[in-house]
Structure 1
Amino acid sequence: MIVSGQKEMNENPSVEAENQLDLRYQLTAEVAKGNSKAGFTVIVQDNYYGEKLPYFLELMAPEKVEPIVLTPNADVIRERECYPRKRA
């Protein structure tokens, strides 16, 4: 988790925001593969948009990966946006 210096992702992310996202995916893949090699079943949960999903799947090679894509409809998304999550 980045405590300071994090660049926000948005519709037009900065180069640094893209670099931070790529680093997050790289580190996630390393941890997931390490746990898999140690004999654990691993689930990775994140948001992968556009070309980022194939990028992440490449990082996971040669591990067997079964992507599951959740695509809520627009009504569900609108409802979620009306009720922001409470932070503990």
Structure 2
Amino acid sequence: MTNNNNEITSESKNERGIFLITGIMAAGKSTIAQLLSERLEKSVHVRGDLFRKMIVNGGVGMSDTPSIEALEQLRLRYKLAAKVSDEYYQSGFNVVLQDVIIGPMLQDIVEYIQHRPLYVIVLTPRPEIVAAREASRPKKGYGAMDISSLESVLQSETPRIGMWIDSSNLTPEETVDEILRRVFTEAKIQ
């Protein structure tokens, strides 16, 4: 599917798909999703967090002990992202959807996305790498989520589906190269 230069071959360029990239905050999802999108023909990058940002009044943020309303708003965000991804796919696009989707809800969004092939990529840089990245960027209003709590949910409650990549020692470009080497054989969800 990829050649020695880590470019997508013409065979895989013609095979459209939905590529779901997840991980905890500051795992590199946005950067990797954008770079992957740029390597795919006729592609779109769906940023799931945009649906949270659309709420003007009444938004409830996530926390280590989220309220029922916070969970319902999160579920709505995932459903909207899945529908948009399906619409773009149906219109002939490769779709790269990225968001923080961990715990049992990863299986939920896999079910919300109707079109296949679907490829799930979970970015798992070490917690100290994530903490350094998070400390270096401006606060974005993700709610009162602790990195160690998110890491715990990722490692102990998230279904082991798709392809998991420890990108701690990889540049963003190397991470995308690794994804392209492995995605079509390791990340496909039936």
TM-score normalised to structure 2 length: 0.43
**In 2, distance between residues paired with 1:62 and 1:79?**
36
| SS of residue in 1 equivalent to 2:99 | coil
Instruction: Check 1:24–1:86 CA distance in 2 against 1; reply closer, same or farther (3 A cut).
Output: closer
Measured in 2, the distance between the counterparts of 1:47 and 1:86 equals 16
Aligned length in residues: 87
Comparing both structures, which one devotes a greater share of its residues to strand? 2
The match for 1:40 among 93, 106, 117 is 93
Q: Which runs of 5+ in 2 are unaligned?
A: 1-53, 141-190
Q: CA RMSD in A?
A: 1.6
Distance 1:73 1:24, change over 3 A: same
For the Cα contact (< 8 Å) 2:60–2:73, is it kept in 1? Answer: yes
For 1:34 and 1:63, locate their aligned partners in 2 and report how far apart those are by CA, in whole Å: 12
Find runs of 4+ consecutive structure 1 residues off by over 6 angstroms.
none
2:110 matched to which residue of 1?
57
Separation (CA, whole Å) in 2 of partners of 1:72 and 1:66 = 19
Q: Quote the sequence identity (%).
A: 38
Q: Distance in 2 between matches of 1:23 and 1:86?
A: 23
Structure with the bigger RCO (C-alpha within 8 Å, sep 6+) is 2
Quick check: 1:33–1:63 contact (8 Å CA) kept in 2? no
TM-score (normalised: structure 1): 0.89
CA separation in 1, counterparts of 2:115 and 2:139? Answer: 38
CA distance in 1, matches of 2:87, 2:127: 37
